[in-house]
Chain A
């Protein structure tokens, strides 16, 4: 029974990997349009979608304890960020996939072991990289979601995009926090509500 389950898990993982791979290859890597994480409009879109997501979080006051609300907010922030990437990058797809997997596992009420990429550790590049460089590349690959087995150039590309996206996430969330912290009086005229 255990072997059947692990076989099914493996099948499912392979199918999922195939889907990701096909989706990735259908896009010509040379003409991949990039998200401009620095633009104001991108940040505004992100902030709006984040607010929507946070509103949904608040609707369940049953998750009143601090840890789970922190988790939900963090996950919402990452999910909205990943969606903003529009499936163009590996890290964004990995974030969405892992969140989905967790949700399914929780819904089905049995804990599936998280299948990470470490089952078959592979060196990123077979040639000419010093062990120091390989070690640091390995560290980096663990920090960028979904990039444990990608080639070195892809890893650098993903990291470049990921950093720009993270910076935007920080900008947007900082602005949001400041909005909620300092109750803006004059501009918005919200004092009449309380």
Chain B
């Protein structure tokens, strides 16, 4: 039953035939976001390379967020609650 549903999910978009153009368009949009590829300045980047670099980039962003969460948890544990938070709130809302 769910296989019927998920099959119909794939076809319920605009068209079931996804054009090559659509895909290259999306890939190039993705390409623009990834600093690795953006800075390299070559126009011909294979889709496989874009996907690989996308994965690497997402992983590195996850690591950064993890690292920042870790630092925040250390900092918030040791800083005095009231003054630090009052300062943060004041500077963020001003």
Contacts and interface: CB of A to CB of B under 8 A. Distances in A.
Interface string A101-120: 00000000000000000001
A44 B77 CA distance: 24
A70 B51 contact: no
Nearest to B85: A55
Interface in A13-33: 14, 17-18, 21, 25, 29-30
Interface stretch (A1-9, A92-100, A171-179): A171-179
B87 A166 contact: no
B2 interface: yes
Contacts of A120: 3
Given A73-B73, A152-B23, A160-B26, A166 B65 contact: yes
A179 B85 CA distance: 10
B13 A190 contact: no
A125 B52 CA distance: 18
Chain B interface category by residue count: 35 or more
A30 B2 contact: no
Contact of B91 (A70, A136, A160, A179): A179
Contacts of A159: 30, 54, 58
A143 B9 CA distance: 21
Contact of B93 (A48, A125, A170, A190): A48
A163 B81 contact: no
Interface residues of A, number: 66
Interface string B1-44: 11101100110111000100011001101100110000000000
A78 to B, nearest CB: 8
Give the dominant DSSP class at A's interface: helix
Interface string B44-77: 0001100110110111011011101111111111
A170 B35 CA distance: 15
B68 A136 contact: no
A151 B13 contact: yes
A179 B47 CA distance: 40
A156 B12 CA distance: 18
Interface string A43-58: 0100110010011011
Given A47-B92, A137-B51, 9 more contacts: A29-B13, A58-B76, A120-B3, A143-B62, A152-B18, A156-B27, A163-B57, A180-B79, A183-B87
Q: Which 7 A-B pairs give the minimum distances between C-beta atoms? A: A136-B51, A156-B26, A173-B68, A166-B61, A74-B69, A193-B83, A190-B87
